Amino acid sequence: MADINAYEGSREGGFEAGFGDYVALLKPRVMSLVVFTALVGLWIAPQPVNPFVGFCAVLFIALGGGASGALNMWYDADIDAVMKRTAGRPVPAGRVSSQEALALGIALSGLSVMMLGLAANWFAAGFLAFTIFFYAVVYTIWLKRSTPQNIVIGGAAGAFPPMIGWACATGSIGLESLLMFALVFFWTPPHFWALALFMKDDYSKAGVPMLTVTHGRKATRAHIFAYTLVLAPFAIWLGFTSVGGPLYLAVAVVLNALFIAGGWRILRRNEEQAQADGYLVEKRYFRLSLYYTFLHFLALLVQHWVGAW
């Protein structure tokens, strides 16, 4: 990692870290998806869980997700400082030192894994430990700066939480949890590549080999559409398992039709059209992708409640 002492010098200029800066280290927006998908995975699992145990399990999974975020911000401070989207984060902005971010990430990693093992089971705890390692080491340290497949392979880290939630309840892995993993895993590339289409300059300046940088926007558009076609069967297949049903299926069919249609519109556009309207279609597709996963997992939760009723 590049030397980031330069980013810490601003702390001597009067910047003091507040509570919100340490919360920001945990990437609360990303954590919200981790918490929700883990909660759904735990709640819809076939074995019921004591509500207090379930609350503790989700809390510790959230802490593990926050630990991953802090470790990511520690290592990526040098490139975060270059990118407009991330320059205001606590470490590159100089409000929190890299050593503090590293210490927080390690402490929360150990705490979350140990407490999840005690609250739920050690299989789930080991799964959480592997997820933290995968995000911090495999994705952040290795893949992110070395291959345009960074977000494809690295996306597995964000897809593990529903499997961890399921494991908290069952102590195992099932077809349903694997399909929930696939839903998030195959959604991640088009979600981030849509963002990269209108944030390409950031990744270029930071030297991050995002697909838009290494292969260009035309190839990225084709990849986005291809992944929407791969994603749809897994999302719909989930509706025919023990956790699915007509309500979930209806939501999945509509959302995936919209996602494929959006990917097709992106595929057909060229750069002149995109630049002329300020990447409006790409930005709308990115916003749709933000709702896509949340609504699928919400539909699974409501389907479970309806079935229980």
The b/e string for 131-167 (b: 16+ C-beta within 10 A; e otherwise) is: bbebbbebbbbebbbeebebbbbbbbbbbbbbbbbbb
Same domain, yes or no, for 76 and 213?
A: no
Cα dihedral value 18, 20, 24, 26, nearest 10: 90
Q: What CA–CA distance (Å, rounded) separates 101 from 22?
A: 8
* Helices of type H across the chain: 5-8, 19-25, 28-43, 51-75, 77-80, 98-119, 122-133, 150-154, 156-159, 161-170, 175-197, 200-206, 211-214, 216-237, 246-268, 271-276, 280-308
Backbone dihedral angles phi then psi of residue 181, each to the nearest 5 degrees? -60, -50
Within a domain: residue 64?
A: yes
Quick one: pLDDT at residue 234?
97
Q: Which residues lie closer than 8 Å to 14 by C-beta, 6 or more apart?
A: none
Same domain, yes or no, for 26 and 111?
A: yes
Same domain, yes or no, for 198 and 135?
A: no
**Residue 220 and residue 193 in contact, taking contact as beta carbons nearer than 8 Å:** yes
| CATH code, domain with 44 | 1.10.357.140
Same domain, yes or no, for 21 and 136?
A: yes
**Residue 199 and residue 85 in contact, taking contact as beta carbons nearer than 8 Å:** yes
Q: What CA–CA distance (Å, rounded) separates 291 from 77?
A: 29
Q: What CA–CA distance (Å, rounded) separates 210 from 215?
A: 8
How many other β-carbons are positioned within 10 Å of the β-carbon of residue 183? 25
Quick one: pLDDT at residue 306?
87
Report in angstroms the alpha-carbon separations of 30 from 94, 159, 306. 22, 12, 28
Quick one: pLDDT at residue 203?
82
Within a domain: residue 11?
A: no
Q: Which residues lie closer than 8 Å to 186 by C-beta, 6 or more apart?
A: 227, 230, 231, 234
Same domain, yes or no, for 181 and 289?
A: yes
End-to-end CA distance of the chain: 53
Within a domain: residue 21?
A: yes
Q: What CA–CA distance (Å, rounded) separates 211 from 174?
A: 33
Residues spanned by the domain of 207: 175-309
Quick one: pLDDT at residue 90?
92
Q: Where is the domain boundary, 135, 151, 173?
A: 173
Quick one: pLDDT at residue 263?
96
**Residue 242 and residue 174 in contact, taking contact as beta carbons nearer than 8 Å:** no
In tens digits, the chain (309 residues) has pLDDT values of: 444 444 444 444 445 678 888 889 999 888 888 999 999 999 999 999 999 999 999 999 999 999 999 999 999 999 999 888 888 899 998 899 999 999 999 999 999 999 999 999 999 999 999 999 999 999 999 999 999 989 999 889 999 999 999 999 999 999 999 999 999 999 999 999 999 898 867 788 888 898 988 999 899 999 999 999 999 999 999 999 999 999 999 999 999 999 999 999 999 998 888 888 888 999 999 999 999 999 999 999 999 998 766
Q: What CA–CA distance (Å, rounded) separates 49 from 57?
A: 10
Same domain, yes or no, for 92 and 32?
A: yes
Q: What total number of domains does the chain contain?
A: 2
Q: Where is the domain boundary, 173, 202, 229?
A: 173
Q: Taking the model in full, what pTM does it have?
A: 0.90
Within a domain: residue 32?
A: yes
Task: State the Cα angle at 7 between 75 and 97, rounded to 5°.
Answer: 65
Same domain, yes or no, for 158 and 237?
A: no
